[in-house]
Structures are given as structure tokens and as C-alpha cells.
């Protein structure tokens, strides 16, 4: 089950965190993985780990916020069976403390980046008989989270774009779903704590972990396994859906 044998999978943000975990598990299941990332060193590391494990992968450095670059990159790849839009950034701030520059940066990467990738991949999927798109939303799209104004905006947009694409291309055999993780322990989290809470990293990590009713953050592999299912043929009857993977955050935090 859940084989991706000989399917070409493009994973944005595949150099680290959730994207890297997805790249590794997809390769393990037989996919030909294309890692798209702005950080060439991290992307190369992911590819190296896949190849060392006997998988097939390549990496391409690309800024997903630039439509021309994305379109050229996807055309270079050619046939694409699966697109996982994992690239994204976070931001802390209320509407009053979010600068126009920061708002536009979050929008450019988290919203426009996903739009650019879907814009580029859908003609290729139509040409080759269909495909699967998985977008990274967040619990922030569904629940008010303090100091996450711009980030929540971007993830709400992702959820809406997912529904629109699923509706528009259902007859083209293109499925489009999203997932909404709560906090996931990635290198980003460690860097965020080191930058914002020097000397208090362990304390704040525990505090953030406890916001999930399960009492911990997810690990990237747990997120990747849900994505694997939704992108596999076993999920062929699923489109236009969002799947929370949140340790009970949305439903049990009242």
C-alpha cells in the first residue's frame, strides 16, 4: 500500500523540516523526487540522503515567489504526478505590529508561492492525465492564534485556494487537498526559540508543546505520513478536503 513507484513528485521546501521528511518518505515509497528549495545546501543534503538510501532524487534551486522561475523549473522537470507545496515562512505580530513589508513577504511566499506552483503544474498534469496537489495550511487558518496575523491570513488563503482548485479541476483527474498541522518540531522552531528566547529555549519549547492537548509537538515524520496517504492512490476518493493533524488543538482546546 501507499506505493509511489515511478511517480514524479515535486516537493517545495524539501531541504528541511516537513518538506524534507516528505521527500524522504516519498523516495522510500518509490517516487522520483524533485526537491525545490531556495537553500541549495539543504536541498543537496536531502538528495544525498535519498540517494544513499537507494532512492532517486534531484534538486533545483528556485524561489517559489517568482512565477517565471517556477514555470521554467516545472517545464524543465516535465511530467509531474504529485506536487507538495511545503515551502513557507512564519511571522509573529498583530495587525498593528505587522509592517507592510512583512505582510507582503509572508503573502509573497506563503500565498503567491503556492499559487505560482499550482499555476505552473496544472497544465502539465492536464497534459499527462491528472495528478495530485497537497498544500500546507495550518491550524492558524481555523483557530485564532495570538500574534499570528499575517501567518493566519496566508494559511486561510491556502485553504481557500485548495477548495477552488479542487472544484475547477475535478474533471481533469486532478485532486487537491490540504493539511493543517499544529506545532511541529522542526529546525525552524529551534532557530525561532534561540533567536527570541536566548537562555530560555527549553522552557519555551515546553510551553509551546503544552498548547497541544496531547502535550507535545508533532515530529515531521508524522506529518509526512499523512501527506503520503493523501498523495497515494489509496486516497483516490479524496479531494477538496483539509485534514487537521494537530494533537487535538482545534477541537479540544476549548
Per residue in 22-38, pLDDT tens? 999 999 999 999 999 99
Pick the closest to residue 91 from 181, 153, 151 (CA basis).
Answer: 151
59, 46 in Cβ contact below 8 A?
A: yes
119 is catalytic: no
Q: What is the pLDDT of residues 87-123, one digit of tens each?
A: 999 999 999 999 999 999 999 999 999 999 999 999 9
Query: In this predicted structure, what is the pLDDT of residue 254?
Result: 61
Q: How far is 223 from 199, CA to CA, in rounded Å?
A: 29
Q: Whole-model pTM above 0.75?
A: yes
How many C-beta neighbours within 10 Å does residue 5 have? Answer: 8
Q: What is the pLDDT of residues 166-177, one digit of tens each?
A: 999 999 999 999
Query: Which residue in 151, 169, 197, 243 is the catalytic one?
Result: 151
Amino acid at each position: 500500500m501507499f506505493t509511489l513507484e515511478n511517480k514524479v513528485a515535486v516537493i517545495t521546501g524539501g531541504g528541511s523540516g516537513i518538506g524534507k521528511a516528505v521527500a524522504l518518505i516519498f523516495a522510500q515509497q518509490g517516487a522520483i523526487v524533485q526537491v525545490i528549495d531556495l537553500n541549495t545546501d539543504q536541498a543537496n543534503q536531502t538528495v544525498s540522503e535519498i540517494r544513499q538510501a537507494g532512492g532517486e532524487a534531484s534538486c533545483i534551486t528556485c524561489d517559489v515567489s517568482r512565477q517565471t522561475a517556477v514555470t521554467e523549473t516545472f517545464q524543465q522537470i516535465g511530467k509531474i504526478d504529485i506536487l507538495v507545496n511545503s515551502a513557507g515562512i512564519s511571522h509573529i505580530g498583530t495587525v498593528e505590529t505587522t509592517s507592510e513589508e512583512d505582510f507582503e513577504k509572508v503573502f509573497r511566499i506563503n500565498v503567491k508561492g503556492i499559487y505560482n506552483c499550482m499555476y505552473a503544474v496544472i497544465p502539465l498534469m492536464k497534459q499527462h492525465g491528472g495528478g495530485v496537489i497537497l498544500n500546507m495550511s495550518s491550524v492558524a487558518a481555523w483557530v485564532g492564534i495570538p500574534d499570528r496575523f499575517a501567518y493566519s491570513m496566508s494559511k486561510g488563503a491556502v485553504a481557500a485556494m485548495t477548495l477552488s482548485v479542487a472544484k475547477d479541476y475535478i474533471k481533469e483527474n486532478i485532486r487537491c487537498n490540504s493539511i493543517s498541522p499544529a506545532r511541529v518540531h522542526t529546525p525552524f522552531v529551534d532557530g525561532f526559540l534561540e533567536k527570541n528566547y536566548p537562555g530560555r529555549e527549553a522552557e519555551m519549547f515546553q510551553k509551546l508543546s503544552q498548547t497541544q492537548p496531547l502535550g507535545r509537538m508533532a515530529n515531521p515524520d508524522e506529518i509526512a505520513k499523512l501527506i503520503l496517504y493523501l498523495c497515494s492512490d489509496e486516497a483516490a476518493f479524496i479531494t477538496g478536503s483539509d485534514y487537521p493533524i494537530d494533537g487535538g488543538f482545534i477541537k479540544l482546546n476549548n
